Amino acid sequence: MDVAFSFAGETLVPLASGALFWPAQATLLVADLHLEKASHFARKGWLLPPHATAETLAALIDAVEASGATRLICLGDSFHDQSGPDRLLPEARSALQLMTRNLDWWWITGNHDEDAAAALGGRVMTETRLGPLVLRHEADAGDRTPELSGHFHPKLVIRQRGRHIARRCFARSATKLILPAFGAFTGGLDVADPALRAALPGPAEALVLDGGRLLRFPVV
Amino acid sequence: MLEVAGRGRHALLTAPTGAGKTLAGFLPTLADLVTTPHAGLHTLYISPLKALAVDVQRNLLTPIAEMGLDITVETRTGDTPSDRKARQKARPPQILLTTPESLAILLSAPESLTMMAGVRRVIIDEIHAFGTTKRGDQLSLCLARLQKLAPAMQRVGLSATIADPESWAGWLAPDADAAAVEIVRAEAGVDPEIDILAIDDRIPWGGHNGRYAARAVMQQIARSRLAIVFVNTRAVAELVFRDLWAENDEALPIGIHHGSLAPEARRKVEAAMAAGRLRAIVATASLDLGLDWGDVDLVIQMGAPKGASRLLQRTGRANHRMDEASRCLIVPGNRFEYLEALAARDAVAAGELDPDAFRPGGLDVLAQHVVGLVAAAPIHPDELYAEVRSAAPYAGVTRDAFDRVLDYAATGGYALKAYERYQRIVAGRDGLLRLRSAALARQWRMNSGTIVEAVAMNVVFGTGKPGRYGRKLGQVEEYFAGQLRVGDSFMFAGQTLEVTGFDGADIHVRMGRGSPKVPVYAGGRMPMTTRLAARVRGLMNAPARWAAMPDDVREWLELQARISRLPGLDDVLVETFARDGRWYMAVYGFAGHPAHQTLGMLVTQRMERAGLMPLGFVASDYAMVCWSLEPVDDPRPLFDPTVLEDELADWLAASPFLRRAFREVAIIGGLIERVQPGVQKSGKAMSVSADLIYDVLRKHQPDHLLLTAAWTDARGKLTDVARLADLLEQAHGRLTHVRTAHVTPLAVPSMLTIGRERVGAEADSALLAEAEALIAEALRFD
């Protein structure tokens, strides 16, 4: 696990899928699944592939199995909208219910989904503390407690030798760590975007997992 | 024309530019309206350009007024105010001038059924500009619908001189029945005068846009009334304009015209041309079509013309009179281009034009069209299928393929039947298809059309303060815009602009100075046509012609014959030589840039497997040159055509070509929303990018309709697979391998482009790591 890094005294392991494993707590964290985003569009006449939810859940199951986590925490916007859970296809619904039964499952509420996921099992909370870290959906620039959050969908955008490369990334400062969006149909926001910089005061870094290495890029 | 019209037959009129064919197309309409009163719409005129429709209206209204006729003529385009559009539906003019996009929208309205019922004639102007494109697919489907609403309607196609009128007649005819169309050929005018510029018998080794000749070009402009300087890409237009300006000692008024400039800016330049206020205009294909914008007496083609038809059409922009010769001057970029220019001139003189490659219509266009038809009125699928098949590009669509398109349009076409309750098209008890809601019809109208632009940002004068901006200059692609920072300068609309700030989808600029960047635009040069390539080979094999060539070119060919040999008429010459510790292989395929690009990928991949350690390759219209650490002793196995399909499939799937093609079909096919011009792409969570959809679909449903459509597009358009396959067959059968002691004369133009190529798509990981290492190094304190 040479990609592990230290944050607020804790050792954290980023996974290529965009999930974060916290070995000391046997906890896997993911942000912004945006489940049922495709069917949200379908209602408006844009018939996007319905496979995205299955794709996201399969990646989630892989991450749980690879890490051996016993607790799973979703950092908000797990569904694209409030009525998302009602639109789950039967297979996806059972897969989710099975996971919420077998794992210690925490839903942190986001701005898109609020407490919609409660019906699927697991605990629902607006924010919480775990060890020395506070967990919430959207970073609170005024809070100095070390914090894990999602919401911004950070991605690294670089230009090297005429090519434009964009990758999902973790964005961190000394006391804040923002997870990339985990959902299959989630886009990203440049880590250098003013909105994201405002949420991440002080010197910041983008962390990208590539080919088994953890690459670090200062954010200017 | 009157004769053919009298017999009620469909007609295709081919005539050189300037022969007055548009007016000829309208004569039977005017004659008919004078003798027989006709309430309602009589003739529809369809043009590829909005501006052309407006121009034709002006040209029609004058004679109508002079003859005191009571005939109403109106235009209907994207610029027509909505109250007038509504009025046109209730009380249509007798002659309506429109574009394929506006016609398609009109045909989706329920009112179209009565409005079109009495139409007698439809005139399609500049038909050659439509035929083999997706716009042509859409237009053909619209014609099928019109014919159904007005069975007696006569179709009239107007075209510039084309290679193969019979094929075009088939395209124009209902049910692709060419026999139903009468071909009318106008008499040819005076032959054009085409010259090739060679300053003091010099033609450069490398380059491809003729910029070295700016001074001579400026002198030609000074000797002419009004010159059009045609270039092959928008980026080159900016560069050439700047070069000319630097040589413009007399400060002659010259302008610039290309597809990324704001419409207002283009209109202004066109008006200045028409009024005789300009002496020259630097233009891309944006000026290829239609309008008669003034007294042009010279056309200058910078770089090789790439096709005989194209050269003839561009030359025709000079001198819209039948009794005087049009004059054109070609400025070849390098010695190959000199041969190509000469070949094009020979072809024009011999009347040998390039045939158009007709292909089956796009399924994405069909998917869009059926939704529009269902919006107009409920229709049975069998009836819809019959209608669609009467459009030539869709004559071969099987019922199975059609049903797949219908299923896609209705539910997205997914194996998972997840969207039954969100179906867009529903079948009633009567078996008729209907749109689920009126809102879907509105959505369709907002998103219809077959032209998909790259995501762009607006260039506007401004100080960087949000919401406060001045005149709009045009658009640059988002990709290029993303590289700009405040204080950077770039060339646009013939000026150097400095970035003052960003506001949503706008880049604010002011006039600047310094060394500017040049915007990059997707979709670059056209490849040289197959017929022209054959003629270039012919010239190389006809030493008798060499004497009349400039010294530079003649000596180049003679030297090549001595050091190596010249490519034959139908072989593939392969040269290998060593230089600076690397081994080079030059392959002269004359198959066009895209085919050589793909060949380079394929051959270097095979060299990799053979342990030859290839390092890179460059491609041009004429040749592909690659280099490696180990020599190629026997090139033959590298050109084995047998596993081409598999290798190509692997490569294409991973390449950005297929992703780009997918974005286009996803927008045309109505899967994702068109980004409306000037509207900022909505926030991160609001839209789903075509790239993410592509990844999910490829994994979960690789046979999805849109993936099939994207695959077809990418194969046809982007890699020129047919030409590559021909080239490989040819290389396999007739490969001539020559080993030389050093670089050969023919290889030099390609070798000069080495180092300017981009790295491959697979290199992202390496580049990421490299970027991190560079940054780490820069930040090191020790």
A2-39 burial, b for 16+ CB within 10 Å, e for fewer? ebebebbebebbbbebbbbbbeebebbbbbbbbbbbbb
Tell me: pLDDT of B187 over 50. Answer: yes
Say which residue, B164 or B154, is predicted with more confidence: B154
Q: How far apart are CA B500 and CA A20, in angstroms?
A: 40
Residue whose C-alpha is closest to residue A34's, from A207, A150, A178? A150
Whether B453 and B116 have beta carbons less than 8 Å apart is answered as no
pLDDT at B19: 59
**Cβ-defined contact of B412 to A80 (cutoff 8 Å):** no
Given a contact cutoff of 8 angstroms between Cβ atoms, the answer to whether B308 and B529 are in contact is yes
Q: pLDDT, tens digit, for every residue of B695-741?
A: 999 999 999 999 999 988 887 765 566 777 788 888 888 899 999 99
Nearest to A147 by CA among A129, A159, A135: A135
Strand, coil or helix: B296 = coil
Q: How far apart are CA B704 and CA B412, in angstroms?
A: 9
Instruction: Name the residue with tokens 């490989």.
Output: B728
The size of chain B, in residues, is: 782
What band does B150 get if pLDDT is binned at 50, 70 and 90?
Answer: very high
Residue pLDDT, tens place only, B254-287: 999 988 888 888 888 888 988 889 999 999 887 7
Q: Which residue of A has its CA nearest to B687?
A: A187
Do residues B89 and B116 touch, judged by C-beta distance below 8 A? no
Q: Which residues contact B85 (CB under 8 A, 6 or more apart)?
A: B76
CB contact under 8 A, B422 and A43: yes
The chain B residue lying nearest A189, using CA atoms, is: B684
Quick: pLDDT tens for B298-326: 999 999 999 998 898 888 888 766 677 88
Q: Which of B50-59, B124-133, B541-550 has the highest mean pLDDT?
A: B541-550
pLDDT score at B390 = 97
Check residues B22 and A214 and name the one with the higher pLDDT.
A214
Contacts of A161 in chain B (CB under 8 A): 758-759, 767
Chain B residues within 8 A of A46 when measuring between CB atoms:
671-673
- Output the pLDDT for position B688: 84
B536 has a pLDDT exceeding 50:
yes
Q: Between β-strands B506-511 and A133-136, what pairing exists: parallel, antiparallel or unpaired?
A: unpaired
- Backbone dihedral region for residue B486 (phi beyond 0: left; psi -120 to 50: alpha; all else: beta): beta
Contact in structure between B34 and B25 (CB atoms under 8 Å): no
Q: What is the mean pLDDT of the segment spanning B751-775?
A: 60
Neighbours of B66 (CB within 10 A): 8
DSSP SS3 for B184: strand
Which single residue is written with the structure tokens 């030609």?
Answer: B220
Core vs surface per residue B150-169: b (16+ CB within 10 A) or e: beebbbbbbbbbbbebebbb
Residue B707: other Cβ atoms inside 10 A: 20
Q: Which of B170-174, B433-437, B466-470, B694-698 has the least mean pLDDT? A: B466-470
Whether the predicted pLDDT of B684 surpasses 60: no
DSSP assignment letter at B316: T
Range of weakest confidence among A103-112, B196-205, B746-755: B746-755
B684 touches chain A (CB under 8 A): yes
Q: Distance between CA atoms of B321 and B303, rounded to whole angstroms?
A: 26
How many angstroms separate the CA atoms of B756 and B627, rounded?
A: 15
Percentage of chain B beyond pLDDT 90 is 55
Q: Which residue bears the tokens 């005024």? A: A142
Closest CA to B339 of B560, B147, B72: B560
pLDDT of residue B293: 66
Beta carbons of A161 and B759 less than 8 Å apart: yes
Q: Let me know: does B634 contact B731? Beta carbons within 8 Å.
A: no
What pLDDT digit, counting tens, does each position of B77-125 carry? 988 999 999 999 999 999 999 999 999 999 999 999 999 999 999 999 9
Using DSSP, state whether B702 is helix, strand or coil: coil
Q: Which helix (H) or strand (E) holds A165?
A: strand A163-168
Is pLDDT at B776 greater than 70 in this prediction? no
Highest mean pLDDT among B252-261, B449-458, B536-545: B536-545
Share of chain A above pLDDT 70, in %: 97
The A163-168 sheet, strands edge to edge: A163-168, A154-160, A189-190
Closest listed residue to residue B453, CA positions, set B694, B678, B257: B678
Beta-bridge partner residues of B576: B585, B739
Distance CA B12, CA B23 (A): 14
Mean pLDDT of B229-251: 92
Residue B527 confidence (pLDDT) above 90: no
Q: Does residue B778 belong to the interface with chain A, where contact is any CB pair within 8 Å? A: no
Q: What distance in Å separates the CA atoms of residue B367 and residue B667, rounded to the nearest whole number?
A: 11
Chosen from A40, A46, A88 to mutate, greatest number of chain B CBs within 10 A: A46
Return the residue of B nearest to A214 by Cα.
B769
CA B624 vs. chain centroid, Å, equals 24
Q: How far apart are the first and last CA of chain A?
A: 28
Q: Please give the single-letter amino acid code of residue B580.
A: D
| A170-186 pLDDT, tens digit each | 999 999 999 999 999 99
Query: CB neighbours of B498 closer than 8 A, spacing ≥ 6?
Result: B487, B488, B489, B509, B510, B511, B512, B513, B514
DSSP string, B5-59: HHTT-EEEEE--TTS-HHHHHHHHHHHHHHHS---S--EEEE-S-HHHHHHHHHH
B555: how many CB neighbours lie within 10 A of its CB? 15
pLDDT for res B678: 47
Q: Give the C-alpha separation, B481 to B484, whole Å.
A: 5
Q: Convert the pLDDT of each residue in B594-643 to its tens digit.
A: 888 888 888 988 898 899 988 888 889 999 999 999 999 999 999 888 87
Q: Which residues of chain B lie closer than 8 angstroms to A54, CB-CB?
A: 700
* B686 has a pLDDT exceeding 70: no
Chain B residues in contact with A164 (beta carbon < 8 A) = 479, 482
Report yes or no: A149 and A75 within 8 Å, Cβ to Cβ: yes
Q: Quick one: pLDDT at residue B762?
A: 40
* Sequence-distant (≥ 6) Cβ neighbours of residue B625 within 8 angstroms: B584, B585, B586, B587, B617, B618, B747, B750, B751, B754
Reported residue count of chain A is: 220
Check B416 against A50: CB less than 8 A apart: yes
Residue B249 burial (10 A CB sphere; 0-12, 13-18, 19+): exposed
Question: In this complex, is the C-beta atom of B39 within 8 Å of any C-beta atom belonging to chain A?
Answer: no
Residue B457 has a pLDDT of 83
Distances (CA, A) of A146 to A142, A178, B23, B68, B509: 11, 11, 77, 85, 42
3-state helix, strand, coil in chain B (%, to 5): 45, 15, 40
How far from chain centre, in Å, is Cα B155? Answer: 25
Q: In this predicted structure, what is the pLDDT of residue A131? A: 96
B371-375 average pLDDT score: 98
Pick from B700, B758, B772: CB nearest A215: B772
Q: How far is CA A130 from the centre of its chain?
A: 16
pLDDT at B487: 86
- Mean pLDDT over B559-564 rounds to 94
Residue B771 has pLDDT above 70, yes or no: no
What DSSP string describes B728-770?
Answer: HHHHHHSEEEEE-SS--GGGHHHHTTTTSSPPPGGGHHHHHHH
pLDDT of residue B683: 39
Q: What is the mean pLDDT of chain B?
A: 88
Tell me: ipTM over 0.85.
yes
Contact (CB<8Å) B767/A188: no
* A chain contacts of residue B771, beta-carbon cutoff 8 Å: 158, 160, 217
Q: What is the mean pLDDT of residues A173-202?
A: 93
| pLDDT for residue B765 is more than 80 | no
pLDDT score at B415: 85
> How would residue B563 be classed by pLDDT, with cut points 50, 70 and 90?
very high
DSSP string, A66-93: HHT-SEEEE-S--BSSTTGGGG--HHHH
What is d(CA B614, CA B16) in angstroms, rounded to the nearest whole number? 49
> Does residue B761 carry a pLDDT above 60?
no
The CA-based angle B560-B563-B567, given to 5 degrees, is 45
- What are the tens digits of pLDDT across the range B320-352? 666 778 899 999 999 999 999 999 999 999 989
Q: A171: buried, middle or exposed (CB in 10 Å: 19+, 13-18, 0-12)?
A: buried
Cα–Cα distance for residue pair B147/A57, rounded to 1 Å = 51
Please name the member of A49, A51, A211 whose beta carbon is closest to the beta carbon of B765. A211
Helix/strand/coil percentages in chain A, nearest 5: 25, 35, 40
What is the arithmetic mean of pLDDT over A41-45? 94
Q: Predicted confidence band at B291 (pLDDT cuts at 50, 70, 90)?
A: low
Element (H, E) at B167: helix B165-172
Task: Give the residue with greater pLDDT, B731 vs B671.
Answer: B671
Q: What is the sign of the dihedral through the CA atoms of B342, B345, B351 and B357?
A: positive
